[in-house]
Amino acid sequence: MSTSKRRIDRPSTPVHSKRRKDTQSRLDSFFSSPSVSERPGKVKADSFQKSIAKDIEIIDVDLLDDDVVSAPEHQSSSSPKKNSSALRPVKLIQAGRKDAFANVQHTTPDYAPLAVDPSTYTTISMDIAQDTLSSRFRSAEHLLRKVFVQHPSYDHIVGALLEVGLDGLPQRVPLTVGIPVYPALGSPIRSFEEIYERLNDLPFSAELKYDGQRAQIHVLRQSDGPIDVRVFSRHLEDMTSKYPDVTGLMQVLLEIHPETQSLILDSEIVAIDRATGSLKSFQALSSRARKDVRLEKVEISVGVFVFDLLYLDGEILLDRSFRTRRSLMRNRFPSYIPENELLARFQHVDSCDSEESQIQLQNFWETAVSRHDTEGLMIKLLDHEVCDEDSKGKLQARKKPLSAIYDADKRTFSWMKLKKDYVSGIGDSLDLIPIGAWYGNGRKVKWWSPILLGIWDPDQGHPVAICKCMSGFTDAFYKTLSEQFSLDDASKCSRSRLWDCEFGGFKPDVYFKPDMVWEIRGADITLSPISIAACHLTSSSKGLSLRFPRFIRVRDDKTIMQASDASFLANLWKSQQGKSKEQDDELIDVDVDSTSDYSEMDDIDI
DNA sequence: ATTGCCTGCCC
DNA sequence: ATTCTGC
DNA sequence: GCAGAATGGGCAGGCAAT
């Protein structure tokens, strides 16, 4: 077995190839970026965030398993000492240890390209004191991660690493138009109080949070004229062929702005009604065709609601403050509706800055809550926090100052999402009956998970399945539940359908005796292909279900006959239909009766 | 051709 | 997506 | 505070069975 072959160039690692999508090759070929190797990549782009070690595994386990693991001539044939030095990095990697990555990285420059000496690993490890080593590992890992989230190409990174090592890496592999950046994310919060706690009076912007699809749009004017556009999803999938209407929009936009060479925008693509301009549901958007869509074939029009600018004409803007990036974006690229009706619209997200006034902010939130076509607000810190000299040394143990950079791949509190359905008293809360369950997996093997829930049908006098639920339960609750509904007690739980219920398309492993009521929260009511709940009350005779269902609490005070019923559900659904602006007043007739509990409509204080 | 089932991706 | 748990 | 795990509804697309 040859030890000299660099397995980096092999098409894939057998062990890991199955689930890996061919993202890398597409990234590398786009805009004729300088591909380092011709390898048809098999690297899953987002695995870095799961564990750096697991990704480098692709590069280096390849190396190692050829050169070390499956090279018995290097080891004794029978019982190789499990911790023999040459195997150490492999072990670390297999154990998912992050420092394994750094270990490998540090040794990378020592690889002779065609002849790897496995002992290199430990030689280096042994020479350096453990703490020095681990701190070096940490900073190496940190640097690599930072480079990776702005330019997720292993080919480029490994190539640069072999040439210039860690130090020159950021300059060698910078953010590049055509290579997607891992998007910045927002942390969930549940009140304005929490905003002020976190931001402590620093100015922020509140943006409407639209219910669409995240899109990072790259635009590059090529030297010979044509304008290249790429659209990437939140997980960096290339969606360009799904959105010819967005591509077309960006091309005309650059025709209007002949001075512009290149840019990267962050945005939400939202389905819109072409006639009225009102927003359509997420479900409408997701019914669009996804592959090789032709502009004339587009059936659902969209608006591109832009909210950030990451790159402009050769300048990387990630480290600028949000205020700077935003004003650059707004001033340079005003909202625009193309004449060609087939093209997407270019719009800025609606927003209200905290500097305007408390009243305006309050109104903004209330508007967001009342219209049913938005999810809530995104709160974004506008400026980097500055630590003044006085407080520097002496004052309290300060937290790290907040920054308003574009923090690729991070869920920070400089971006917060305040969704209506997080806030108690707002959003859809249902009282549902557990009527069945499935056997759990993994850490939930000992318990029932998910649980099947039903509404109450007063006409038939039995529950009707509406959705499954697996979120919001504590381990302790699961335990209790497994005792309350045990197959040992056939009066409560059974493999066969002993109790009168309708299940629609749901086929649980076990059935529960309808016996209790739980409060379940969700974001939206959906028209469901498998639920038959309230199906006689919907236009399409499809049933209704719940988006993002999660358990809130047991309703000991309710019997199953007091659970939410079909008409309550149907009213919720109707009230959320077609409600863009003010036009929904006639429809709202949700009876706030005994079946629901709206008692705790706590206003949120601003 | 049509239907059903599974995967992969969106949220 | 949401949530809980363990480091 | 963060990563990891388990799994929600629902769509298009692809493939196999009818």
Whether A196 maps to a domain, the answer reads no
pLDDT for position A47: 36
Name the residue among A299, A301, A351, A342 with its Cα closest to residue A323: A351
Least confident segment among A15-24, A82-91, A387-396, A400-409: A82-91
Instruction: Find and give the residue nearest to D7, measured CA to C1'.
Output: A470
The per-residue pLDDT for range A147-194, each reduced to its tens digit, is 999 999 999 999 999 999 999 999 999 999 999 999 999 999 999 999
The reply to whether A28 and A90 lie within a common domain is: yes
What Cα–Cα distance (Å) separates residue A106 from each residue in A95, A102, A146, A162, A302? 19, 6, 17, 11, 48
The per-residue pLDDT for range A481-529, each reduced to its tens digit, is 999 999 999 999 999 999 999 999 999 999 999 999 999 999 999 999 9
Name the residue among A420, A592, A407 with its Cα closest to residue A522: A420
Whether A588 maps to a domain, the answer reads no
Could you tell me which residue, A79 or A188, shows the higher pLDDT?
A188
Give the model's confidence band at A202: pLDDT under 50 very low, under 70 low, under 90 confident, else very high: very high
Instruction: Find and give the residue nearest to D5, measured CA to C1'.
Output: A443
Q: Which helix (H) or strand (E) holds A282?
A: helix A282-286
The CATH number that applies at residue A262 is 3.30.470.30
Query: What residue ranges in A211-341 does DSSP mark as E strands?
Result: 213-221, 227-232, 262-271, 302-312, 315-316
Whether A58 maps to a domain, the answer reads yes
Whether A191 maps to a domain, the answer reads no
Query: Is A209 considered catalytic here?
Result: yes
Average pLDDT over residues A65-78: 25
Q: pTM for this structure? A: 0.81
Whether A463 maps to a domain, the answer reads yes
Q: Decide: CB of A476 under 7 A of nucleic strand C.
A: yes
Name the residue among A425, A512, A522, A509 with its Cα closest to residue A467: A522
The reply to whether A399 and A278 lie within a common domain is: no
Q: Decide: CB of A548 under 7 A of nucleic strand C.
A: yes
Instruction: Tell me the C-alpha distance between A189 and A211, whole Å.
Output: 17
Residue A475 has pLDDT above 90, yes or no: yes
Q: Contact, A99 vs A92, CB < 8 A?
A: yes
Number of domains in chain A: 4
Instruction: Please identify, among A351, A383, A400, the residue that sits at the C-terminal boundary of a domain.
Output: A351
Residues present in chain A in total: 606
Q: Contact, A136 vs A40, CB < 8 A?
A: no
Q: Decide: CB of A234 under 7 A of nucleic strand B.
A: yes
The reply to whether A239 and A91 lie within a common domain is: no
Whether A187 maps to a domain, the answer reads no
Which of A54, A209, A419, A579 does the annotation list as catalytic?
Answer: A209
Residues 6+ apart with CB under 8 A from A53: A92, A93, A96, A97, A98, A100, A101
Q: How many CB atoms sit inside 10 A of residue A413's CB? A: 16
The reply to whether A113 and A237 lie within a common domain is: no
The reply to whether A573 and A545 lie within a common domain is: yes
Task: List the A297 CA – B3 C1' distance (angstroms).
Answer: 25
The reply to whether A442 and A503 lie within a common domain is: yes
Average pLDDT over residues A247-275: 98
pLDDT for position A246: 98
Task: List the A383 CA – C5 C1' distance (angstroms).
Answer: 34
pLDDT for position A428: 87
Residues 6+ apart with CB under 8 A from A54: A47, A93, A96
Could you tell me which residue, A604 or A518, shows the higher pLDDT?
A518
Task: List the A168 CA – B6 C1' distance (angstroms).
Answer: 46
The CATH number that applies at residue A561 is 2.40.50.140
Burial A313-346 (b: 16+ CB within 10 A, else e): eeebbbebbbbbbbebbeeebeeeebeeeebbbb
The reply to whether A345 and A358 lie within a common domain is: no
Whether A11 maps to a domain, the answer reads yes
Strand B contacts in A 16-45 (CB under 7 A): 19, 21
Q: Decide: CB of A98 under 7 A of nucleic strand C.
A: no
Any idea which nucleotide's C1' is nearest the CA of A548?
Answer: D8
Instruction: Please identify, among A351, A373, A401, the residue that sits at the C-terminal boundary of a domain.
Output: A351
The reply to whether A332 and A363 lie within a common domain is: no
Q: Which residues pair with A518 in a beta bridge?
A: A432, A554
Q: Which domain holds residue A337?
A: 208-351
Any idea which nucleotide's C1' is nearest the CA of A470?
Answer: D7
The reply to whether A347 and A492 lie within a common domain is: no
Q: Decide: CB of A286 under 7 A of nucleic strand C.
A: no
The reply to whether A164 and A31 lie within a common domain is: yes
Any idea which nucleotide's C1' is nearest the CA of A212?
Answer: B11
Instruction: Please identify, among A330, A351, A372, the residue that sits at the C-terminal boundary of a domain.
Output: A351
The reply to whether A336 and A363 lie within a common domain is: no
The per-residue pLDDT for range A386-432, each reduced to its tens digit, is 987 665 555 555 578 999 999 999 999 999 999 999 998 888 899 99
Q: Decide: CB of A550 under 7 A of nucleic strand B.
A: no
Provide the mean pLDDT of chain A.
Answer: 80
pLDDT for position A318: 98
Whether A201 maps to a domain, the answer reads no
The reply to whether A345 and A361 lie within a common domain is: no
DSSP state of A563: S
| Residue A235 phi, psi dihedral angles, 5° rounding | -105, 25
Q: Which amino acid is at A541?
A: S
Q: What nucleotides of chain C have any atom within 7 angstroms of a protein Cβ?
A: 1-6
Task: List the A271 CA – D12 C1' distance (angstroms).
Answer: 16
Q: Contact, A414 vs A241, CB < 8 A?
A: no
